[in-house]
Amino acid sequence: MADYTLPELPYDYAALEPFISGVIMELHHSKHHQAYVTGANAALAALAEARESDNLASVNKFEKDLSFNLGGHINHSIFWTNLAPATGARPEGELAAAITDSFGSFEKFQAHFTAVAMGVQGSGWAVLAWDSLGQRPIIVQFFDQQSNLPAGLIPLLMLDVWEHAYYLDYKNVRADYVAAFWKIVNWSNVSDRLAVAAAQTAGLLLLP
């Protein structure tokens, strides 16, 4: 089995300026994201070693490390592709229809997602996710990288509201960072994710 690896960004570090600086993007990708990749691989290796040596005494710590670091790796991998240089685009097609069906309108969705991002206490994420059970998009908050997460969700659009994501550019003013985020959402990526999630989970048996 291959180790997890840090994915390349689909754009240059400075491509999202002036909304997110190249300095933040480079640190965030090459240091923070890399640390989650390293941590996820280390946790899997520690679990393998624990099984091999019949010493499962530290299994709780390793499982927690795996959940946190693999969560961080997945979240950031999705987040990078959710962003693109500003185009002024809005959701179209099936994505636009799903947002209107689930949230009333694009503006209602945007206000809801913004409030969720602003409301995260401490470190976490605002997430638009496909609910495999309800077969609809819902908005959830993650605490840290993985807590407060119902099973069966497939993330579509994620916003990192850890301070490391914005402090160098926006200091403590998270509202300005969230407002900037809306300028650089790659709606075409979110649409592609919705199409795959809906197709792959239709008829998925989550409950008896």
Query: 58, 57, 55, 77: which is closest to 66 by C-alpha?
Result: 58
Q: Which is nearer to Mn ion, 165 or 190 (CB)?
A: 165
CB of 162 to Mn ion, least distance (A): 5
Show contacts of 196-205: CB within 8 Å, 24+ apart: 197/130, 197/132, 197/154, 197/156, 198/94, 198/130, 198/135, 200/154, 201/130, 201/132, 201/135, 201/152, 201/154, 202/135, 204/132, 204/133, 204/152
Residues lying near Mn ion in the complex (CB under 5 A): 160, 162, 165
Q: Which is nearer to Mn ion, 65 or 160 (CB)?
A: 160
Give the integer Cα–Cα distance in Å for 79 and 6.
Answer: 13
33 marked ligand binding residue: no
Closest residue to Mn ion, judged by C-beta, is 160
CB of 17 to Mn ion, least distance (A): 18
Q: Which is nearer to Mn ion, 77 or 110 (CB)?
A: 77
29 marked ligand binding residue: no
160 marked ligand binding residue: yes
CB of 94 to Mn ion, least distance (A): 29
Give the integer Cα–Cα distance in Å for 178 and 121.
Answer: 15
Q: Which is nearer to Mn ion, 84 or 95 (CB)?
A: 84
Q: Which is nearer to Mn ion, 73 or 99 (CB)?
A: 73
Give the integer Cα–Cα distance in Å for 202 and 135.
Answer: 7
76 marked ligand binding residue: yes
Beta bridge partners of 127: 140, 158
Annotated binding site: 28, 76, 160, 164
Annotated binding site for Mn(2+): 28, 76, 160, 164
